[in-house]
C-alpha cells in the first residue's frame, strides 16, 4: 500500500489494486531491492521511489512522499537516494515521465539534473463517439507473442518504458489485432478490455494509413467502450491519425 500512500492527493487521483501493483512491478522491471523507501524515526512511511532496471537503463516507476512529509525538502533526499541506487547498478541513464502541470515535481527532477526530451500525450475516445467508417485493410486477431517481434520495426518513434516490448511481453490478457498477416503485420494494436474501457497497451504502424482499419475494427469488436491510449509521443504521426478517428 506504500505506492498508494505516496500518491494520495496526487495531481490526477488514482489508486492501484494489489493486482495492479504486482503487474506494475513485474511488467516494468521494478527492482525492489534498489528502490529507496524512506521512513521516519517511528518507522512510518515517508517516501517511495520505484526504480525500474533494464540492462544499463533505469526508469522511475513511481516517486512521491506521503501527505504528512511534504513541504519539508524531503523530495531531494529521496531523489538523492534514488540516483545513488542507480549509480550502484552502473546505470547509464535514468528516465521518467511527469505530468506537464505538476510544477513541483518538475522542479525536483530538474534540480536533480533531469532534462526534458519529448512530450507524451494521453488520448481518449469516448464511448459515445460514432463508429468510424470501415476502412480498407483486413484486420485479424493475433497473439501478442507473434506481434511483439515486429514492434521495433513498426514504431515510428521509440516507445516509452511501459510500452516497450519487455513490458508488453510481461502483461497478461493482452489481445492482439493486426493489419496484414501475423507473420508480417503492417500495423498492430495490443489491448486489454474491461466492461467499460478498452485500454490500448500499444499501437504501431509502418504506414499510418493502416491505423483507421485498426480503429474501425476495435470499435466494432468492443462496442460501447471508452478507448484509452497513454504515452503516445506528441511528434508521432499515429497520434494525429487517432485524433482524426475520434
35-46 pLDDT per residue, tens = 999 999 999 999
**From start to end of the chain, where are the E strands?**
37-39, 45-54, 57-65, 93-95, 120-125, 139-142, 175-181, 184-193, 197-205, 226-233
User: Domain boundaries in the chain?
Assistant: 2-117, 121-244
Compute the C-alpha angle 99/175/160, nearest 5°: 30
As a whole number, mean pLDDT of residues 144-167 equals 94
Q: Please compute the mean of the pLDDT values over residues 210-216 and round it to a whole number.
A: 90
Span 178-205, average pLDDT: 93
According to CATH, the topology of domain 121-244 is Aminopeptidase (3.40.630)
Q: How far is CA 48 from CA 38, 78, 177, 212, 239, in A?
A: 6, 7, 37, 41, 33
Q: What would the pLDDT profile of 82-124 be if each residue is shown by its tens digit?
A: 999 999 999 999 999 999 999 999 999 999 999 999 999 999 9
CATH code for the structural domain at 2-117? 3.40.630.30
Cα first-last separation, the chain: 37
pLDDT greater than 90 at residue 150: yes
CATH topology agreement for domains 2-117 and 121-244:
yes
Show Cβ contacts of residue 69 under 8 Å, excluding neighbours closer than 6 positions: 38, 40, 46, 47
pLDDT bucket at 132, cuts 50 / 70 / 90: low
Amino acid at each position: 500500500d506504500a505506492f498508494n500512500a505516496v500518491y494520495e492527493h496526487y495531481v490526477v487521483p488514482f489508486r492501484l489494486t494489489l493486482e495492479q501493483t504486482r503487474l506494475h512491478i513485474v511488467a516494468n522491471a521494478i527492482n525492489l531491492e534498489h528502490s529507496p523507501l524512506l521512513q521516519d524515526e517511528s518507522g512510518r512511511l515517508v517516501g517511495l521511489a520505484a526504480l525500474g532496471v533494464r540492462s544499463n537503463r533505469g526508469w522511475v516507476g513511481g516517486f512521491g512522499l506521503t501527505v504528512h512529509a511534504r513541504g519539508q525538502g524531503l523530495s531531494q533526499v529521496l531523489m538523492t537516494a534514488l540516483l545513488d541506487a542507480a549509480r550502484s547498478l552502473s546505470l547509464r541513464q535514468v528516465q521518467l515521465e511527469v505530468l506537464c502541470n505538476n510544477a513541483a515535481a518538475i522542479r525536483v527532477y530538474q534540480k536533480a539534473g533531469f532534462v526534458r526530451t519529448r512530450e507524451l500525450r494521453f488520448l481518449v475516445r469516448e464511448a459515445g463517439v460514432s463508429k468510424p467508417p470501415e476502412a480498407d485493410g483486413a484486420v485479424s486477431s493475433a497473439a501478442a507473442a507473434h506481434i511483439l517481434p515486429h514492434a521495433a520495426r513498426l514504431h515510428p518513434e521509440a516507445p516509452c518504458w511501459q510500452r516497450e516490448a519487455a513490458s508488453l511481453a510481461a502483461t497478461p490478457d493482452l489481445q492482439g489485432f493486426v493489419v496484414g498477416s501475423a507473420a508480417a503485420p503492417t500495423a498492430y494494436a495490443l489491448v486489454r478490455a474491461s466492461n467499460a474501457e478498452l485500454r490500448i497497451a500499444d499501437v504501431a504502424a509502418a504506414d499510418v494509413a493502416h491505423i483507421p482499419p485498426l480503429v474501425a475494427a476495435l470499435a466494432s469488436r468492443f462496442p460501447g467502450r471508452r478507448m484509452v491510449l497513454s504515452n503516445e509521443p506528441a511528434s508521432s504521426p499515429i497520434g494525429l491519425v487517432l485524433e482524426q478517428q475520434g
